[in-house]
Structure 1
Amino acid sequence: MITTPSATAPAPAGNRRAAPSFGRFARTAATVSLIATTLNLACFGVARAVGATLLVDPGIGPANHLVTGVDVAWKTAVPVLAGSLVVWLAAQRSRRAASGVIVLGGVLAALSIPLPLLGAHDPRTATTLLALHTIAGAAFVLIGVRTVAAATSAAGGPISLRSRR
């Protein structure tokens, strides 16, 4: 007797798409986000030490906004973690979708760099904001790449192009 799998039957082991576990992703995202936040707070401290005004005229909101340590911390951690969660959710669908989210996030991070530069009151503040946005964008991309690599290795595929032979 030949039987066919029903719609509710689990897929054979060879057909399952492996995605990175949430625990592994969460550890990576938390660690990288914490490092990025710490680096950004260090940049903020250096900027204060060298006399940056840390005043910006944002495109939205009142002029002469003073950038504080709390601003730096939450405006690093929250976007990096939220964006990384979107990458992880996309990785549940496919590695290609996750890669697309990483590229889109990287482009948005790159596009966000000139905006505060245009509103900075002095060159030291502009340089600091450039560093802060670059660090946060790099953290997001790093978490995304690690998430896709974990999905690739979990699926039994190559982790990088160099491992293909």
Structure 2
Amino acid sequence: MRVLVQRVSEASVAVAGEVVGAIGPGLMLLVGVEDVDGAQDAEWLAKKVLNLRVFGDDAGVMNRSVLDTGGAILAVSQFTLFASCKKGNRPSYSRASRPDHSRPLFDALVQTLAEGLGQPVPTGVFGADMQVALLGDGPVTIWLDSRDPQ
């Protein structure tokens, strides 16, 4: 699984012009799943996201997590995170998992995040054409991949 984490002042996701999920300060996640991913990938990523120290402390050093700050998380499914442009300029998404495999893992990630955070984690609509808006904070953008845990 891959997650692109962005620290935000606010973020929202809309479908057909209607906002279906929104947060204030916290983290906005774009989440991609591939066929080799399983429950352990969702668990590892949830733990990493919840404890990722990307918020400033009193000295202005990024030393606090979303748990420490009481921030929120917005998660959006994003199969294009597994795009490959090796053959020409049209991306191939063959590494991205089909919905019957990816949706349960995305849902498991969201549930684990919500349990750890102690509040609901809003999402987009799985598989829909979504418009994502965010006001980046920093900007801080971090790439996490459960197949390459660094």
Structure-2-length-normalised TM-score: 0.30
**Larger helix share, 1 or 2:** 1
**Larger strand share, 1 or 2:** 2
Higher RCO by CA contacts (8 Å cutoff, separation 6 or greater): 2
